[in-house]
Amino acid sequence: AQSVAQPEDQVNVAEGNPLTVKCTYSVSGNPYLFWYVQYPNRGLQFLLKYITGDNLVKGSYGFEAEFNKSQTSFHLKKPSALVSDSALYFCAVRDIPGGSYIPTFGRGTSLIVHP
């Protein structure tokens, strides 16, 4: 079985400060991990993914995420937040091998970046 948790409903950060959006997961095998972003009145947009290899994954818009197997975490980070980063962020996981093609999404974390 696969599951993912985003422990924070909302994250507030000042523009220019670093940001972290947390995600933890549970799988039986090895995880494929994803981050998506949803801007207001828009669909989800793929940001980045971890499949294998380097634990630090770089994605779109300056975001990166760090895979930590021992802590079963895949936190999303950005060194310097922009007001335009304000959006809803979803973490998703797939269990490999043996899992289905269907990803499990977290409930989402609302990121608010204050000017």
Partner 1 sequence: DARVTQTPRDKVTEMGQEVTMRCQPILGHNTVFWYRQTMMQGLELLAYFRNRAPLDDSGMPKDRFSAEMPDATLATLKIQPSEPRDSAVYFCASGLVPRGWTSGSPLNTGELFFGEGSRLTVL
Residue 31: which of 89, 74, 64, 77 has the closest Cα? 74
Residue 40 binds partner 1, judged by CB under 8 A: no
Q: Does 96 sit near partner 1 (CB under 8 A)? A: yes
Q: Give the pairing type, strands 30-38 and 87-96.
A: antiparallel
| The binder of partner 1 chosen from 1, 40, 52, 70 (CB under 8 A) | 52
Check residue 105 for interaction with partner 1 (CB under 8 A): yes
Nearer to partner 1, 36 or 74 (CB): 36
Q: Is 99 in the site for partner 1 (CB under 8 A)?
A: yes
70 part of the interface to partner 1, by CB under 8 A: no
Q: How many residues bind partner 1 (CB under 8 A)?
A: 26
Strand partners, 94: 32
In angstroms, rounded to a whole number, what is the distance separating the alpha carbons of residues 45 and 89? 9
Query: Binding residue for partner 1 (CB under 8 A) from 12, 14, 46, 84?
Result: 46
SS3 content of the chain, % helix, strand, coil (to 5): 5, 55, 40
Pseudo-torsion of CA 93, 40, 43, 29, nearest 10°? 0
Q: Interface with partner 1 includes 102 (CB under 8 A)?
A: yes
Q: Does 34 bind partner 1 (CB under 8 A)?
A: yes
